[in-house]
Amino acid sequence: MQMRVLGGTGIKVSPYCFGAMNFGTWANTDREEASRIINAALDAGLNFVDTADRYSDGESERIVGQAIKGRREDVVLATKFHGPMGEDVNRQGNSRRWMVRAVEDSLRRLDTDHIDLYQMHRPDPDTDIEESLSALTDLVRAGKIRAFGSSTFPAEQIVEAQWVSQRRGFERLRTEQPPYSILNRTIESAVLPTAQRYGMGVLVWSPLAMGWLTGKYRNGVDMSTGRAAIMPAMYDPAAPANVRKAAAVEELAKIAADAGISLTHLAMAFSIAHPGVTSAIIGPRTREQLDDLLAGADVVLDDETLDRIDAVVAPGTAINPEDSFYTPREISETTLRRRPAATRSAA
- The three-point CA angle 267-52-146 to 5° equals 100
**Alpha-carbon distance 23 to 219, whole Å?**
30
**Alpha-carbon distance 242 to 235, whole Å?**
6
Which stretches of 142-190 are DSSP H helices?
Answer: 155-168
Distance from chain centroid for Cα 285? 16
Check 16, 55, 118, 217 and give the catalytic one: 55
Long-range contacts made by residues 328-335, C-beta under 8 angstroms, separation at least 24?
328/123, 328/125, 328/154, 329/125
- Give Cα separations from 217 to 70, 213, 224, 227 (angstroms): 39, 8, 9, 10
Please count the other Cβ atoms lying within 10 Å of the Cβ belonging to residue 327: 11
- The three-point CA angle 253-187-155 to 5° equals 170
Which stretches of the chain are DSSP H helices?
Answer: 31-43, 59-67, 96-110, 129-141, 155-168, 191-197, 227-230, 232-235, 240-259, 263-271, 287-295, 303-312, 329-332
Residue 326 annotated to the active site: no
The secondary element (H helix, E strand) that includes residue 282 is strand 279-282
The secondary element (H helix, E strand) that includes residue 4 is strand 4-5
Residue pair 31/1 in contact (Cβ under 8 Å)? The answer is: no
User: Coil, strand, or helix at residue 253?
Assistant: helix
Residue pair 325/153 in contact (Cβ under 8 Å)? The answer is: no
Q: Which residues are catalytic?
A: 55
